[in-house]
Structure 1
Amino acid sequence: MSVFSDNIRLLRGKSGKTQRELSQQIAINTSRYISYESGRSKPPVDILIRISRLFHVSIDLLLSVDLRKYPLEDMLKLPDNRIVLPVVVDQSGNESIEIVPQKATMGYLRGYSDPGYIESLERISLPFLKNGKFRAFPADGDSMPPFKDGSFIIGKYIEGIDDLKSGNTYIFITVNDGITYKRLKSKNNDSITVAADNTFYEPYNIPLEEIVEVWQYASGIFPQDFS
C-alpha cells in the first residue's frame, strides 16, 4: 500500500463511485485502476492529472499527504487545489489561529503547502475572529506603522485576486519577497500595485504569477507593549 492508493480509495469512497465508474471517468480499464488502488502499480503523469482534476485535489497532496488524517469536511480548499487548510478549533469551539514564527519567511515558503508544517505551528484563539481561516504573520521593518519588529499581523485568508479591494491592507505571500504586508492601490491586468503606509517607500507592482497566498488584515498583536 501507499499514501496515494489509500488516498484514492478514500476519495472514491466519499464520492460514492464504484471502481468501474471511476475508471470510466478517467478513461482507463477497471483492472488498471484497481492496480493503482491496491498499490500494485503507479499511474503515469497523464493519469495522475486526470485523477487530480476529478477529485479536485492537487497531485502533491495525492502523493504525499495521508488525507485520512485531515477530515475533508473540516478543510478549506484553496485555489488550484494547491493545498488544504485544516480548520482547527479549541475546547471552547473557537477557531484556532496559527502563528508563523518571527523571521520565518523562507520557512513559511517551504512549508505553507505542507499540512504537517502548519500543524506544528503554535496556536491561539481570539473569539471575536470568526467565520474564516486566520493566521498570524510576523511584522518586519517600519514600512507599515504601527507594526514593528516583534509584532504580529493577523490575516483572514482570501481566496482570489478578485476579492481584493483597493485601500485595504493585506499580507501577500510571494515567491520573491516572502511575507510582506502592504496596502492595495490598484489591480492591473497581470499585476497589482501595492504601497507602504510609510511614505518613505515608493509603491510597486507585484506580478500575479508571483502571488502564493493573500490574507486580509483582521487584527494585530503587539508583544512589545507588554515587555
Structure 2
Amino acid sequence: MSLFSDNIRALRVRAKISQEKLAEELGITRGRYVKYEDGTSEAPYDILKKMALYYHISIDLLLTVDVRKIHLEDLLKLENNRLLLPIQIDVAGENVIEVVTEKAKAGYLTGFADPDYIESLQQISLPFLGSGKYRGFPVEGDSMPPHEKGSIIVGRYVEKLGDVRDGKTYILITKNHGMVYKRLNKNKKNSLVLESDNSFYPNYEVKFSEILEIWEFQCSIGRTDRKNELSELGELKGLVLELKREVLKLKRE
C-alpha cells in the first residue's frame, strides 16, 4: 500500500462515493480504479490531475501528505481552489516567482491549477521575501494608487480564509470579476467587501464561492517615478460623484 492509495481511499470515503461512481467520474473502469486504491498499479499523470481537480486539492497533497491527518475544513474552502499550488524551483532548489504577464492574464483563470500552464509563465527571484509561495500579477486601471497599469504586484498565497486581515490589500482571482487587486474587509458572513484606494470607485462584495485564489500583497514592481497624482484625482472624482448623488437625491424629493 502507498500513501497515495490511502489518500484516495480516505477521500472517497469522506466524499461518500462508490468506487464505481468515482471511476465513472474519472472516465475509467472500476477495475482500473481499484488497482490505484489497493496499490497494485500507479495512476498516470492524466488520472492524477483528474483526481486532484475532483477533490479540489493538489497532486502534491495526494502524493506526499497523509490527508487523513489534515482538517480540510480548516483550509480555504473555495470552489475549484487548490489547497497547494504547482511549485517551480530553480537550479539551487529555491522557489521561483511566476509572473502572470498582461499577455498571460486571460489564460490564468482556467490555468491556475494546471502545472503545465504554471510552468509556461515567466519567472523571477526575490530572495528578500523569505518563506512562502509567491506569484506576480499585473496591475490594471487606476483604482489602487500609486500602483499603475503595467506594474506587477507580488503576492503571497493565502491558504486559510482566517488569515485574511481587514484593511490589507490582496490579489483575488474570482469567477465573475476576474483578477482584481483590492483592499479587503471580512465584515460580511459569506462574502468579502472589496475597497479601492481611489475613492472614485465604489466598494462591492464578492461571495466566498466566487473566489478561486487569494494572494496577500508583499511588494510591487513598477517602471515609473512620476509624482503620485492619482490619489488627488481620485478624491476630486469622488467629490464630483458625491455631488451628483446629492443632486439626484434633491430631484427625487
The within-5 A match list for 1:36-185 is: 36=33, 57-59=52-54, 72-73=63-64, 79=76, 82-83=81-82, 84-185=84-185
Q: Which stretches in structure 1 are left out of the alignment for 5+ residues? A: 1-11, 40-51
DSSP 3-state at the match of 2:3 = helix
CA deviation vs aligned residue, 1:167-204 (integer Å, no higher than 9, x gap): 11000111111110001133311211121111111211
Hey, which of these two has a bigger chunk of strand by percent? Answer: 1
> Aligned-pair distance for 1:119?
1.0
2:158/2:215 contact within 8 Å kept: yes
The two structures, once aligned, show a CA RMSD in angstroms of 3.6
Inter-partner Cα distance in structure 1 for 2:214 and 2:89: 22
Q: Give the share of equivalent positions with the same residue, in percent.
A: 39
Task: Report the TM-score when normalising by structure 2.
Answer: 0.62
DSSP 3-state at the match of 1:86 = coil
The within-5 A match list for 1:1-40 is: 13-15=2-4, 34-36=31-33
Structure 2 letter corresponding to 1:203: N
DSSP 3-state at the match of 1:135 = strand
1:186/1:194 contact within 8 Å kept: no
Q: Corresponding residue for 1:207? A: 207
DSSP 3-state at the match of 2:2 = helix
Inter-partner Cα distance in structure 2 for 1:35 and 1:198: 56
Task: Report the TM-score when normalising by structure 1.
Answer: 0.68
Displacement over 6 Å in runs of 4+: 24-27
1:99/1:136 contact within 8 Å kept: yes
> Aligned-pair distance for 1:146?
1.4
Q: Which stretches in structure 2 are left out of the alignment for 5+ residues? A: 21-28, 37-47, 66-71, 226-253
DSSP 3-state at the match of 1:36 = helix
Higher-Rg structure is 2
Inter-partner Cα distance in structure 2 for 1:181 and 1:73: 33
1:150/1:224 contact within 8 Å kept: no
2:76/2:161 contact within 8 Å kept: no
Q: Corresponding residue for 2:243? A: none
**Does the C-alpha gap of structure 1 residues 60 and 117 become closer, same or farther in structure 2, counting only changes over 3 Å?**
farther
Inter-partner Cα distance in structure 2 for 1:206 and 1:71: 30
Inter-partner Cα distance in structure 2 for 1:202 and 1:28: 49
DSSP 3-state at the match of 1:189 = coil
